[in-house]
A and B are shown apart, each in its own frame.
Chain A
Amino acid sequence: MAEKKTTGAVLILGSGVAGIQAALDLAEMGFKVYLVEKKGAIGGLMARLDKTFPTNECAV
C-alpha cells in the first residue's frame, strides 16, 4: 500500500504560555494548528497571575 500523504496540521494540547508560543510559531510558518484547551479560555496558569517578576509587569 502506498504511504499516505503527510498532513501539514498540528494538534497542540494545552494553551498555557508554552502551548500558545508553539501555536504562534507554527502558524507563522504556515502550518494549520488546532489548539486544544480543557477550559473555556486559553492562557493557562500565567493568565491567572496578576504580575510577573522581575519587572512586575502585568501578566495578561
Chain B
Amino acid sequence: MECGRHFNIEILTRTELLDIQGRPGNFRVSLRRYPRYVDIKRCIACGACADKCPQVVPETTKNLGSRKAIYLEHPQAVPLKYQIDPLSCLKLTENSCGLCEELCPTQAINFEEREEVLEYEVGAVILAPGLKPFDPSRVGLWGWQSPDVLTALEFEYLLAQSTRTNTPLRRPSTGNPVKNIAFLQCVGSRDLNHCDHPYCSTVCCMFAIKEALLARQRNARLEISIFYTDMRAYGKDFERYYQEASEKKGIRFVRSRLHAVEFCPQRKKLRLHYVNIEGRQVEEWYDMVVLAVGLEVPPDIIELAHRLGLRLTANNFAATSAFKPVDTSKPGIFVCGAFSGPKDIAQAVTEGSAAAAAVAEILAPVRPARQVSQNQLPQTIQGDQKPRIGVFLCHCGNNISSVIDLEALLTYAQGLADVVWAEKHLFLCSQEAQKRLQEVIRDKGLNRVVIGACSPRTHEFLFRRALREAGINQYLLEMANLRHHVAWVHPQFKEETTQKAKDLIAMAVAKVRCQEVLYPLEVPVMKRALVLGGGVAGMECALSLARQGFEVFLVEKSASLGGNARHLSYTWTYENVQYHLLKLRKEVEKNPLIKIFLRAEVVKVAGHIGEFATTISSHGRRKTIRHAVGIIAIGGGMYRPFGEYGYGEYEEVFTSLEFDTVRAAGDFRVKRARNFVFIQCVGSREPGRLYCSKVCCTHSIQTAIDLKKEDPSRRVYILYRDIRTYGEREILYQKARKLGVVFINYDLHGTPKVSKSSRGLCIEVWDHILHRPLEINTDVLVLATAIVPNPKVRELASLYSLAVDSHGFFLEAHSKMRPVDFLTDGLFMAGLSHYPMPLEESVAQAKAAAARAATILAKDTVSLDPVVATVDLARCDGCALCLDVCPYKAISPLEIEEGDSRVKKIQIDKVRCKGCGICQAICPQECIAVANFTLTQLRAQIRAALSGEL
C-alpha cells in the first residue's frame, strides 16, 4: 500500500524482465510491458465496466469463483486499477462488444494499447520473483480431481468465503456442511518419487496449522487431523502456536505420510488409508482433504536465471553464500525472498531489507540528496480563525449513492453550524474532483474540511495533500467513512443508513470545528550509528553501514570480535566459517569509518531517534556516544544441561559445540569410539523454553554425516522429536539416512534415559514400532542443546525501553512486517538476541538492520506525526498513573520548583509518543490531551452523535 504512493517508486505492472546488460553501477535492462487496455491515470476503479461486462471467466483456482474479462487483480489491489484480459475480452478477440469503453465515466479504456519494450538504466537489480505453489494435478495420487480435495490456498479462499458470508463451511461436491477435514503435509515437498522436489517447502506446516485453527474458529465441532512427517515449527513463536493447536485447540496431529486419497462414490466420502506410528494399518473417512502443497521455482524464472547466467542450486533456487545471503553469482544482481530457498514472510521481508542494504553499499556514491519534504509547503490559512467548514460528499460511483440518500445528506450537511459550503462528487478521489476541492477551499475561504467518502487509511494522504496544496494546514481535515462504515456494512436498510451517515457527518463537523493546526515534528539526524555486539551480526551490520558511508561505533563486551561464530567450523552448505570470519574481522578492523570499543558495556542511555546518547564503560573509563540510530546484536548463548542426561556427571556426555571442539582436537574419547548417540531438543521445545532452537537438527545431522564418512562402520543414532531440516537442508537429512545414520523418534513424555554401563553409556528410549524400550550402548553421547538468549537482553531492554518476549529474546515491532525493528523508533536488532538462527539468517538480519537504519541516516531530519499527547502541567498532580500504561515508555516523572517546594509532575517525550491515547483515558485530572483527539473534541462528537435522539 505504502509502495503505491512513494514518490521514489515507479510500479510497472504486467511487465516482464527480458535482459540485463552492462556491469554493476551501470546496467541496461530491457523489459516487456503487456497492454492493460486501461489507462492507470484515468481509471478510478468504480467498477461500472466490470458490472456490465458480459464475459464471465472462471478462475483457475478452485473456490475463487469467476471474474469478468475486465477485472481487478483482487479487491485491495495496488494499484487499484482495472485490467482487461485479452484472451477473453470480446472486443479484443472478435471485435464486438466494447461496452466498457462506452460506460467508463473517465474514458480510461484504450483498446489501442500495444505491447512495448522498455529500457531503463539502473545501477543494480534485485530479483524477488518468489515461488509458485506446487500443482497437485500433475500427480494423480491425491485425488485432486474430486472437488472436495483442495490445495491449502484454495481452502483458504473457501474458508474466507464462509467467514465473509457467515455460512457454514460446505463441501463443494454436495453442498453439505463439512464435519471432518484431513490435512496432508509434504505434498510436492520432500518427495523424489512424484515430483523431484527433495527439499522441504518450509512454510506449509505452519500454514496448515493456521488454517486448521481458523476452520475450528468457524466451527468448534469440526474434527481436523493433520497428517505430517515432521512438524516444522522452527520459527519465532511457531512452537507455542503448534503446542496450543494440539493441546488446547483440539487439532489432531498424526505422524504418518499418506500417499493416496480415494473418493468412494458409494459413501460419497474420501478414504484415507495409512500406517500409524505403531505400525498398524488404519482406514479413515473424510468430507474434505486439504493438500498442504509445497512451493517451487516457476519455469519462466528458471529460464530467466539461465538467460542471465545466474548459478542455481540443484533445485533451481538462486545459489547464495551464507556470508552473502542476498548476492547472486553475478555482481550487482541481488536476490531476496523465496527465490533463494523457500522461506516464511518474516524472513522474506528481512531479506528484502538486506538486499536494499547490499544495493545501497554499491550505489552509496550516487545516493541522491534528500528531496524537500512535502510537509514544508507554506500554509497561509490558519486554524485559529472562525471556523468556515466545507463538507464534500462522494458517490463513489454507486458504492455510496446506491445506499445512502446523498441529496438528503447534502441538505442536512448544509444546515449544520459553521458549514459554509457543501457539495458532492461522483468520485472525490479523481483528479478533477481534487482540483475542484482546492478551488472551492480558496474561493469560499474554507479553513476546515470534512470528507464524506471512504477510509482515511487509504485516502487521507490524498485529501491532506489537497489541503496542503490549497494552502491550509493538512490536519484541519476529518473524514467520515461513508463507504466502509455505512454503505458496505448494511446496504439493506436504506433509511437507517442515511440517518447513520447524517450522524457521522455531524460528528465529523463537530470534531473538525475544534481541530488545531499541527506541524510534523522535525527531528535532526546525526549521521552516526551505534552497533552493540561484535559477533557476525554486529560486524556485518557495522560494515554495511560503513560501506554506505556512515560512521559506526561498534561496541563489544569481550576482548575480541567474532562472537559465537568462533566456535563453528562450517555452515550447512559446507562453507568454511573461520576463513570468512577472519576476512570479515580484518575488513571491519581496517575500515576507517568503524570505531571499535572492546571490553565495553552500555551503562546509560538518553535521547531518542536522531540523537541518542549512549554512555559506555570501557577499561574503567566512561564515554558518551551520540548517535542517530542503534543496532542491538548482542547474540545468545548455549544451554548447559547440568543434571540432564548425565551431563556434568559422565565424561562421555558433551553438548554439540563441546563435541565439535574435542573431535577437532582429536580427543581419544572420539577417536576410539564406535557408537555415537545424539539427543535432540535438549532444553528446547519444553515447558519454560517453548521454542525450537532451529539450528540443532541440521548441526547434529552434519556431524553424523562426518562421523559416518570418516568410518562407515561406526554406529550413529539420532534421537529426535521432529527433524527440522527446513528448506534445502532436507537433503542433508536424506544423505544421513542413506549413509546409515539411525533416526529414532521420541516424545516429550518419554525422554531417553541415560545410565552408566560396563560398556560405556546405556541409553534407553521407547521404540514406538516395537512397543518396548530399546537400549543402545554408546561410547559418546552428544546433546543438541538449546540456544538461550543473552542475559544482557533484559538489562539493555530496560536501558533503551525495549520489549522482550517471554523467553528473554528481543521483541520486534511486528513479527512479519517489521522483523528487525524495535517498537522504539531508531533502534533495530539482528542475530541471536532476536531468536536462534543459522549464520546466513544472522547475516541477512544484520544487513536488514543496516538498511532500516540507513533509511534514517540518509535523511537530514526525520519527520514524525504530530498527533501526540501533551500534558497541562498546571493541572497535573503527579499521580503518575499514566507512566505505567504508556506502551512506548514516552512518559517520565518530572520534579519542578513551585514557590519554595518541589512538586511532582510528568513529562511526555513527543518523539517517543505515538498518540495512542491510553494516558489521556486514564488521567483522573483530564490534563493529558492527544492532539486533535482531545476530550473536548471527543465530547463534541458524542454530543453530535446523540443529538438526533435526545
Contacts and interface: CB of A to CB of B under 8 A. Distances in A.
Please name the 3 residue pairs, one residue from A and one from B, whose CB atoms are nearest each other, closest first.
Answer: A21-B352, A18-B337, A41-B77
B366 A6 contact: yes
B16 A38 contact: yes
B947 interface: no
B159 A17 contact: no
B438 interface: no
A30 B352 contact: no
Contacts of A50: 156-157, 159-160, 163, 214
Interface string B6-46: 11111111111100000001110101000010000000000
B736 interface: no
A54 B238 contact: yes
Nearest to B26: A4
A25 B352 contact: yes
B282 interface: no
Interface in A15-60: 15-57, 60
Interface stretch (B173-181, B356-364, B403-411, B864-872): B356-364
B2 A41 contact: no
Interface of B: 2-4, 6-17, 25-27, 29, 31, 36, 72-74, 76-81, 83, 120-131, 153, 156-157, 159-160, 163, 206-207, 209-210, 213-214, 237-238, 240-241, 336-339, 345, 348-349, 351-353, 355-357, 359-360, 363, 365-371, 815-817, 851-852, 854-855, 858
A40 B124 contact: no
A33 B262 CA distance: 50
Nearest to B352: A21
Contacts of B15: 36-38
A35 B77 contact: no
B84 to A, nearest CB: 10
A20 B79 CA distance: 13
A6 B26 contact: yes
B371 A30 contact: yes
Contacts of A41: 13, 72-74, 77-81
A17 B345 contact: yes
Contacts of B359: 10, 22, 26, 31
B128 A56 contact: no
Contacts of A6: 25-26, 123, 363, 365-366
A13 B298 CA distance: 14
Contact of B367 (A18, A23, A29): A29
Given A31-B359, A42-B78, A52 B345 contact: yes
Contact of B14 (A14, A39, A46, A52): A39
B578 to A, nearest CB: 31
Contacts of B3: 15, 20, 23-24, 35, 42
A29 B629 CA distance: 14
B14 A56 contact: no
A2 interface: no
Interface of A is mostly: mixed
Given A34-B122, A40-B36, A41-B78, A54 B128 contact: no
Nearest to B156: A50
A55 to B, nearest CB: 7
A14 B127 contact: yes
B353 A25 contact: yes
B815 A11 contact: no
A47 to B, nearest CB: 6
B74 A22 contact: no
Nearest to A23: B9
Contact of B349 (A18, A30, A32): A18
A54 B355 contact: no
Contact of B368 (A28, A30, A60): A30
Interface residues of A, number: 55
Interface of B is mostly: mixed
Contact of A53 (B241, B348, B357): B241
A30 B77 contact: no
Contacts of B213: 53, 56
Contacts of A48: 74, 153
Given A25-B855, A37-B14, 11 more contacts: A7-B123, A8-B368, A14-B127, A16-B338, A17-B349, A25-B353, A30-B371, A30-B858, A40-B73, A42-B13, A45-B131
A40 B26 contact: no
Contact of A13 (B10, B27, B128): B128
A47 B743 CA distance: 39
Max chain A C-beta neighbours (<10 A), residue from B9, B26, B36? B9
A32 B123 CA distance: 10
21 contacts: A6-B26, A7-B27, A7-B366, A8-B123, A9-B121, A10-B125, A11-B125, A14-B129, A14-B130, A19-B352, A23-B9, A24-B3, A24-B9, A25-B353, A25-B356, A31-B363, A32-B8, A37-B15, A39-B73, A41-B78, A55-B815
Given A8-B363, A9-B121, A55-B815, A21 B36 contact: no
Nearest to B12: A36
B215 to A, nearest CB: 11
Contacts of A19: 126, 128, 130, 336-337, 352
A31 B76 contact: no
A45 to B, nearest CB: 6
B120 A34 contact: yes
Contacts of A49: 153, 156
Max chain A C-beta neighbours (<10 A), residue from B73, B213, B367, B858? B73
A22 B352 contact: yes
Nearest to A29: B858
Contact of B17 (A13, A30, A56): A13
B883 to A, nearest CB: 27
A50 to B, nearest CB: 4
A46 B345 CA distance: 8
A45 B338 CA distance: 11
B143 to A, nearest CB: 24
A38 B25 CA distance: 25
Contacts of B156: 49-51
A31 B8 contact: yes
A13 B14 contact: no
A17 B814 CA distance: 14
Contacts of A55: 815
Contacts of B72: 40-41
Contact of A21 (B31, B124, B349): B349
Max chain B C-beta neighbours (<10 A), residue from A8, A16, A36, A42? A36
A18 B125 contact: no
A1 to B, nearest CB: 12
Contact of B78 (A12, A33, A43): A43
A60 to B, nearest CB: 5
Contact of B356 (A8, A26, A38): A26
B13 A21 contact: no
Contacts of B120: 9, 11, 34
A22 B339 CA distance: 14
A21 B130 contact: no
Contact of A25 (B14, B125, B160, B852): B852
A11 B365 CA distance: 18
Contact of B360 (A9, A31, A51): A31
A51 B153 CA distance: 11
Contact of B130 (A16, A26, A35, A57): A16
Contacts of A4: 26
B77 A40 contact: yes
